[in-house]
């Protein structure tokens, strides 16, 4: 059992472990190297063309990798759905790297998982339709669930997983992780759209800083490169059409020819601790979480105020929380979805917050190579930000060739760049006006 640190008013929060699953890669260093070389995770999806989806590319988990991960989940960590399997591997990797014991067995540990609610796929919708009384406008949900578990009609389950309903609930994975690692003091499941990963980390940070928790496992997982999800996002105009282009060139954050985001899967986790707790057990400290802000607004379901005021408010609140000024930030890991609306808002906000310095503040859009894994994206970008601090290296933004009138004047990194990095601002801005900014700093802390 790890040492217990008494409650205090303010505890510095540090990162002691990271884990990640993306594409064919199952560790964060391999992903960092992959991206640093200017390579992408975005490829044609093996089923999207068959489905007739106009945007037939994604940053999906390789099917063989997905099966290997599913086979490797220990029995005591189940049952888990597709996103839960990814979450377990990224979380287990971060936990092992932190050097914590296999089980914390302490009420002063918690799990904070970001995962948007899974949608039903065609076979499931067809099975569900059999239990709809259209004249009465009623659904016999009990009958549907009994059919799945075979109690009503053993031969009529249509090949559907009887545990599917449990597996697709995001909080099921939260509970599994908490039980497996013995960290059930605080459990939270975040479904704050594209900001959820950052908000999960931010919430964990606040619990530790206040002295309520000593340790938190915080991150995200998403598995949405499915027919229903892709069709829905394409229907609202958010996804970039393939139009016969090279998949590697479609996601174009801040570029004038951007046309939408590319959807992705993945999982990423960080182990957070109070500095006193980490030092008491001799842990290696990778970085600090210096500041966080979560701000909501309600301008429009799929975009925020075009002048960037809402995003700027969020970034400034994170700086205030960290006790830092804009000039203390050395790098911005942008939300950068490659949609016209988001990139316009974020670029305007960066100009507002950083003024003339925006022209000399390096900005990276990881989604150019990783796609947008929604709830997971903020967690994955936080992991990459930790590695930028560790390696003093900035990752490139792919496909940025020419800005528009709003995105001009920004220093968008297009090639791997060595740089002195002491503090990184990592942004996540979600549908529905859910915005957050994290500030990650060197292991010794950000500049005073």
What 3-state DSSP class applies to 187?
strand
Nearest to 196 by CA among 306, 115, 292, 315: 115
* C-alpha–C-alpha distance, residues 296 and 204, integer Å: 18
**Phi, psi angles (nearest 5°) of residue 302:** -110, 10
Q: Which of 314, 335, 351, 436 is catalytic?
A: 335
3-state secondary structure labels for all residues of 12-58: CEEEEEEEEEECCECCHHHHHHHHHCCCCCCEECCCHHHHCCCCCEE
- Helix/strand/coil percent split, the chain, to 5: 40, 20, 40
Query: Among this protein's residues, is 360 annotated catalytic?
Result: no
Query: How many degrees, rounded to 5, is the angle at CA 308 between CA 307 and CA 312?
Result: 140
Q: How far is CA 339 from CA 395, 430, 442, in A?
A: 20, 12, 31
Give the CA count within 13 Å in the CB-facing half-sphere of 113.
29
* C-alpha–C-alpha distance, residues 57 and 45, integer Å: 5
* C-alpha–C-alpha distance, residues 314 and 292, integer Å: 9
Q: How far is CA 84 from CA 52, 174, 181, 324, 399, in A?
A: 28, 8, 15, 36, 32
* C-alpha–C-alpha distance, residues 351 and 90, integer Å: 35
- The strand pair at 331-333 and 362-364 is best described as parallel
Query: Among this protein's residues, is 372 annotated catalytic?
Result: yes
DSSP state of 368: H
Query: Among this protein's residues, is 55 annotated catalytic?
Result: no
Q: Which of 194, 314, 345, 436 is catalytic?
A: 194
Query: How many degrees, rounded to 5, is the angle at CA 181 between CA 175 and CA 182?
Result: 80
Do the beta carbons of residue 119 and residue 226 sit within 8 Å? yes
* C-alpha–C-alpha distance, residues 187 and 262, integer Å: 31
- The catalytic site residues sit at 194, 335, 372
């Amino acid at each position: 059992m790890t040492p217990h640190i008494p409650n205090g008013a303010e505890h510095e929060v540090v990162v002691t472990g990271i884990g990640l699953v993306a594409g064919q890669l199952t560790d964060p260093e391999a992903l960092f190297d992959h991206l640093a070389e200017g390579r992408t995770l975005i490829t044609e999806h093996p089923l999207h063309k068959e489905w007739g989806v106009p945007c037939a590319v994604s940053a999906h988990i390789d099917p063989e990798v997905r099966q290997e991960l599913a086979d490797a989940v220990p029995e005591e960590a189940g049952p888990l759905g597709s996103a839960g399997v990814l979450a377990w591997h990224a979380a287990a990797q971060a936990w092992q790297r932190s050097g914590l014991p296999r089980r914390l067995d302490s009420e002063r540990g918690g799990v904070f998982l970001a995962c948007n609610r899974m949608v039903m796929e065609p076979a499931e919708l067809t099975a569900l339709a059999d239990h709809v009384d259209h004249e009465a406008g009623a659904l016999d949900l009990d009958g549907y669930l009994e059919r799945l578990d075979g109690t009503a009609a053993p031969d009529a389950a249509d090949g559907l997983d009887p545990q599917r309903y449990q597996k697709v609930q995001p909080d099921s994975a939260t509970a599994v992780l908490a039980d497996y690692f013995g960290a059930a003091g605080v459990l939270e499941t975040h479904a704050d759209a594209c900001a959820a990963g950052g908000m999960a980390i931010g919430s964990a940070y606040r619990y530790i800083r206040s002295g309520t928790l000593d340790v938190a496992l915080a991150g995200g997982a998403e598995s949405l490169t499915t027919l229903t999800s892709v069709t829905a996002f394409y229907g609202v105009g958010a996804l970039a059409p393939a139009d016969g282009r090279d998949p590697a060139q479609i996601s174009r954050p801040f570029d004038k020819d951007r046309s939408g985001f590319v959807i992705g899967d993945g999982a990423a986790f960080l182990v957070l601790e109070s500095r006193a707790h980490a030092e008491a057990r001799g842990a290696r400290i990778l970085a600090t979480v210096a500041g966080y802000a979560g701000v909501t607004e309600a301008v429009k379901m799929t975009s925020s105020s075009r002048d960037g005021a809402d995003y700027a408010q969020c970034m400034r609140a994170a700086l205030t929380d960290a006790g830092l000024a804009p000039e203390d930030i050395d790098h911005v890991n942008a939300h950068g979805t490659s949609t016209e609306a988001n990139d316009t808002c974020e670029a305007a906000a960066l100009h507002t917050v950083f003024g003339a310095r925006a022209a000399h503040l390096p900005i990276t859009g990881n989604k150019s190579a990783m796609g947008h894994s929604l709830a997971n994206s903020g967690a994955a970008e936080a992991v990459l930000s930790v590695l930028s601090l560790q390696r003093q290296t900035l990752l490139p933004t792919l496909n940025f060739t020419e800005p528009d009138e709003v995105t001009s004047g920004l220093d968008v990194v297009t090639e791997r760049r060595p740089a002195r990095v002491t503090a990184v601002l990592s942004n996540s801005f979600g549908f529905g006006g859910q915005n957050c900014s994290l500030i990650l700093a060197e292991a010794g802390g950000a500049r005073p």
